Structure 1
Amino acid sequence: MAKRSAQRWVPVLLSLIGGALLWAAWPTSPLTFLIFIAFIPLLRLADTVESTGKYYGCIYLSLFIWNAGSTWWVGNTTVPVSGLAANLINTTVMSVPLLGYYRIRKRLGTTASYFALIVYWITFEYVHLNWEFSWPWLSLGNAFAMHPSWIQWYEYTGVSGGTLWVLLCNISIYHAWLLRKRYPVPISTFIWKTGWIPAAIIILPLLLSSLVQYTFKTPEGPSTPVVIVQPNIDPYDKFAENNASMQLDKLLQLSKQKTDSQTAYIIWPETALFTNGAWENNLATEGSTQSIHYFLQQYPKATLISGAITLKHYGKPDEIPYTARSMDDNSSYDVFNSAVQIDTSGTVQVYHKYKLVPGVEMVPYARYMFFMKYLALDMGGITGSYGRTPDENILTSTNKHIKVSAAICYESVYGEYVAEHVRMGANLLFIITNDGWWGNTEGHRQHLQYARLRAIETRRWVARSANTGVSCIIDPMGRIQQPLPYWKEGVIKGNVTPGYILTFYVKYGDLISKAASAFCILLIIYSYYLRFRQKKIS
């Protein structure tokens, strides 16, 4: 009786272990290697739990532990319940590929189910990367962000290659354990026949990474001097109505500390300018812009790139997007989280952030539920959903032959999006962000680590300006240089070199995810065909 009672708790124990392993393996934990076995408890659940409902409850518990443990900080805002809601929703979405794996295992057996798990999970991550409920923070390939020397081959596969690696390792180790359990043979025989397979799956990508790293050549050519400013302004205070001029003075004073006659770019963080919004058709004549122009006259080679909040007015009804807001005169306008480029020529280039944070900067699919578009979480500044109308994709400096992709905050998590800008001609990557909303938590540290993946995928230098930290420079191999500590005011002076070679990943995109999506569709069609045939026979 006691043994039977203990057996009933085994699935719960497996759920707890699986969730704990996934949490412990996630950046910025030093236990990354645990990701190679973290899915094994979930695989075991599929083999031991007979009830679909019980299996779903077990995997939900495991995935929730992973979500809550790794991203609990999303609730460290003025609305703490938002974090719990985000974790619950993401757990629900994450459970779908595991349910698909469980069903295939019951119908088609072991080999087909392992293939289905890989295909379903990678497809899930790809969908989660591209729909409006997007939250790719926990894509499995992100787990290796702290170890760029392990994943130099991301220049070919992107993050989905890391996801494939994780799943293959877990499946091969688990399958080897099952064979060892069923057919107890001497350890030497086991290693010779089976045990070498998971070892090879783990070791070969590491060797490949070493080879790529050994043969890689950093971009050659004239270096570009940059100055990166970290003003350390509390994000919950920076949008106060009377603070804009004081913040501008602080940014200019900090910039002056290390700007010289050779400086090519000065980089300020997200929403550093026009905190209460400025009309795009008047940006060149704004008081802040004029102050910057006056400052840049002292450094004629310098160009400023800064985060800003900009406003765009729509005069014609047929050009009004669904994100637009109404004015008192019944006309419409949009608010954008933007990056602006200002130089001594008097022109201002504007880039609009496109990858917006669900629930904070936009309400997903609000165009189908128009009444919900103002429900975005208020975290200071102008509330409601931001606009998504594209403007400049690349910020171009014609006299320097330099094209910059200015990824704003959350956009730096999207490998294909950044790669698309490099394909358009960007030879430098600037990341401007404001990570202080979530305090001194894993949020800003994880975000920093993910930036290293973009450097490897595109082989571009990255200059990162974060309002409260961590600001730094990242080389094309993903190594961090001159990091400024969190919650510390400071300035970085360094050099970056424009790159012109396009990696395989930049040229062709995420081929692994696209192939997995195609196989996923075929598997779903085939499973429905089998169900239809069985009904017809019965």
Structure 2
Amino acid sequence: MAKRYLPAILSLSGSLLLWAAWPTSPLTFLIFIAFIPLFRLADIVENRARFFGSAFLLLFCWNVATTWWVGNTTVPASGVAANLLNTLFMLVPVMGYRRTRKWVSPTLAYFTFIVYWMTFEYIHLQWELSWPWLSLGNAFAMHPNWVQWYEYTGVSGGTLWILATNLAIYHVWFQYKFYRKPVLKQIWKPVLILAVPFGISAYINMGLHVPTEGTGAEVVVVQPNIDPYDKFADENESLEVNKMLQLTQKAITNRTSFIVWPETALFVHGAWENKLTYEDYTQKIRLLLQQYPKATLVSGAVTLKRYNQNDEIPSSARRNSDGDMVYDVFNAGVQIDTSNVVGVYHKSKLVPGVELIPYVHYLSFMNSLALDFGGISGSYGRSPGVELMENKATHIKVFPTICYESVYSEFVAEHVREGANILFIMTNDGWWGNTEGHRQHLQYARLRAIETRRWVARSANTGISAIINKNGEIVDSLPYWEEGVLKATVTPNSYLTFYVKYGDLLSKAAVLFCILLILYSFFLRLTRKRITNTL
């Protein structure tokens, strides 16, 4: 009886461990044993279909338990679809490992699992069905003191650490259980794998590695606390902008370099980019900034761009009801100062199903299926805007990441390499209510600070807004669902970490090894066929 139900028990145990280890749970250490039930399933379940079902149960329950809030919208089925798809994607490296372990040694099989999983995570960051929320290295977001070495490896280093530790512990148990090899003679391997990263992080935390920094800059972060389901109503727009101006006036001083407003704070129904400088709200903001000429406002916005007949028309473009105008809608960031120029940044990492219908250039008829959360529905544009924003008075450059973009390690690092001294995150993640979604999102921002050694100013519409230092520590924050304003002195930095300079080398190495493994498997299959035909 126990053997019959063992696969189900292992599946549920694995999903429970993964869920319990994930932010914002305090049981992070469980991540170091959370994959052991999956490895055991691969050893005891011989039937391929039954193993697929057991692994699916484990991964699906983990996805649902950790990111169920994705469906906490006007269309709950979207959450089911997202969790189901992500589970199926995760099964690709798992099934690849099961197949490979049949023709290689156990040690090489363990190596292939790491390679396959890291390859999956890297690809999952690149394509239009991207959902990097459950990249394993994100598990340490609440413990930046454990992973100060992310400035060399990025989040993929955490993925490698987790998988290597799980495999080493499982191997020791397996050798003892079936071969009676003494645990004490083998335990040093998982202990070493577990301890060395802690030691490296402790070394960095001791202050033996301090990047050179510039002088401080005063930043004002506004949290207006506007219900995301009400903010797009026509009658509310003017009240909302006035509210943010009033909150800004409470904290701004002659020393202020930047004011940060949240995602889609301005022009919620769209404003033409070639006319932004003449918009009423732009003029109101400039009136305030004329009293504080050193300050620059960076805000989320919805902008529109019209295309002429001679322009290259992207697949995201749409037509008006008369069909005589082709244009794009952007989830954008705008920079407003006392000059007559408004800088515009276009969000390029768009949320699948909400801001982007994946591969719509092949399936244009599906463009109308993007979920409508009260603003402008349909796929947003992704043509390039400005890369960075710069305060002309202080020459400080910032990268204004918009919401979901802040989860992408290498994407953020690329912009830091372009010269960003500070990171801004503008978000409106209150769509999912008071769930783990916005709390996890905040914690992930701490990892971007470590990877780039940049201070982070995070403006969230409904919270949690925060100031995070270059070591990933939250210096100050505002509670969820409360309006308020933060004022802090942050330190611009021009130092480039190893990760910023060279990118995600670990993941790229995993992709290379994965290609070699696939080629090797084809080689073995061909040679076996030749031997069989000869016999």
Give the TM-score category using the shorter length.
over 0.9
Q: Could you tell me how far apart the structure 2 residues matched to 1:255 and 1:304 are? A: 10
Q: Which position in structure 2 is the counterpart of 1:66?
A: 62
Instruction: Write the deviation string for residues 62-101 of structure 1: whole angstroms up to 9, x where unpaired.
Output: 0011100000000000001110111001000001101000
The residue identity in structure 2 corresponding to 1:349 is: G
Q: Could you tell me how far apart the structure 1 residues matched to 2:411 and 2:307 are? A: 27
Instruction: Write the deviation string for residues 190-235 of structure 1: whole angstroms up to 9, x where unpaired.
Output: 32x2011101111110000011222132553310001100000000
Q: Could you tell me how far apart the structure 2 residues matched to 1:120 and 1:264 are? A: 46
Contact 1:219 1:498 in 2 (8 A): no
Count of equivalent residues: 530
Q: Which position in structure 1 is the counterpart of 2:128?
A: 132
Contact 1:273 1:307 in 2 (8 A): yes
Q: Secondary structure at the match of 1:404?
A: strand
Structure 2 residue 194 is the aligned partner of structure 1 residue 198: no
Q: Which position in structure 2 is the counterpart of 1:51?
A: 47
The residue identity in structure 1 corresponding to 2:240 is: Q
Give 1:34's match in structure 2, choosing from 30, 40, 63: 30
Contact 2:468 2:475 in 1 (8 A): yes
Q: Could you tell me how far apart the structure 2 residues matched to 1:379 and 1:522 are? A: 44
Q: Which position in structure 1 is the counterpart of 2:166?
A: 170
Structure 2 residue 221 is the aligned partner of structure 1 residue 225: no
Give 1:329 shift: 4.9
Q: Which position in structure 2 is the counterpart of 1:148?
A: 144
Q: Which position in structure 1 is the counterpart of 2:202?
A: 210
Q: Which position in structure 2 is the counterpart of 1:158?
A: 154
Give 1:151 shift: 0.1
Q: Which position in structure 2 is the counterpart of 1:459?
A: 453
Contact 2:263 2:461 in 1 (8 A): yes
Q: Which position in structure 2 is the counterpart of 1:470?
A: 464
Structure 2 residue 90 is the aligned partner of structure 1 residue 98: no
The residue identity in structure 2 corresponding to 1:31 is: L
Q: Could you tell me how far apart the structure 2 residues matched to 1:343 and 1:255 are? A: 14
Q: Which position in structure 1 is the counterpart of 2:11?
A: 15
Q: Which position in structure 2 is the counterpart of 1:258?
A: 251
Structure 2 residue 205 is the aligned partner of structure 1 residue 242: no
Contact 1:218 1:476 in 2 (8 A): no
Please give the residue correspondences for 1:65-464 in structure 2 after superposition, counting only pairs within 5 Å: 65-184=61-180, 190-191=183-184, 193-214=185-206, 215-217=208-210, 219-327=212-320, 328-464=322-458
Q: Could you tell me how far apart the structure 2 residues matched to 1:316 and 1:269 are? A: 34
The residue identity in structure 2 corresponding to 1:232 is: N
Q: Secondary structure at the match of 1:430?
A: strand
Give 1:330 shift: 2.0
Q: Could you tell me how far apart the structure 2 residues matched to 1:317 and 1:207 are? A: 59
Q: Could you tell me how far apart the structure 1 residues matched to 2:365 and 2:159 are? A: 38
Aligned structure 1 segments of 4 or more residues deviating by more than 6 angstroms: none
Contact 1:160 1:512 in 2 (8 A): yes
Q: Could you tell me how far apart the structure 1 residues matched to 2:334 and 2:141 are? A: 29
The residue identity in structure 2 corresponding to 1:103 is: R
Q: Which position in structure 2 is the counterpart of 1:6?
A: 2
Q: Secondary structure at the match of 2:487?
A: strand
Q: Secondary structure at the match of 1:99?
A: helix
What is the TM-score of this pair, normalised by structure 2? Answer: 0.98
Instruction: Write the deviation string for residues 259-312 of structure 1: whole angstroms up to 9, x where unpaired.
Output: 111111110000000001000000000001001111111111111000000000
Q: Which position in structure 2 is the counterpart of 1:501?
A: 495
Q: Could you tell me how far apart the structure 2 residues matched to 1:216 and 1:76 are? A: 43
- Could you list the runs of 5+ residues in structure 1 that have no partner in the other structure? none
Q: Which position in structure 2 is the counterpart of 1:524?
A: 518
The residue identity in structure 1 corresponding to 2:126 is: N
The residue identity in structure 2 corresponding to 1:36 is: F
Q: Secondary structure at the match of 2:394?
A: coil
Give 1:317 shift: 4.1
Instruction: Write the deviation string for residues 34-65 of structure 1: whole angstroms up to 9, x where unpaired.
Output: 00000000000111011111111000000011
Q: Could you tell me how far apart the structure 2 residues matched to 1:384 and 1:369 are? A: 13
Q: Could you tell me how far apart the structure 2 residues matched to 1:246 and 1:24 are? A: 42
What is the TM-score of this pair, normalised by structure 1? Answer: 0.97
- Could you list the runs of 5+ residues in structure 2 that have no partner in the other structure? none
Change in Cα spacing, 1:218 to 1:225, as seen in structure 2 (3 Å) is: farther
Q: Secondary structure at the match of 2:235?
A: coil
The residue identity in structure 1 corresponding to 2:316 is: T
- Aligned-residue CA RMSD (Å): 1.0
Which is further off, 147-156 or 217-226? Answer: 217-226
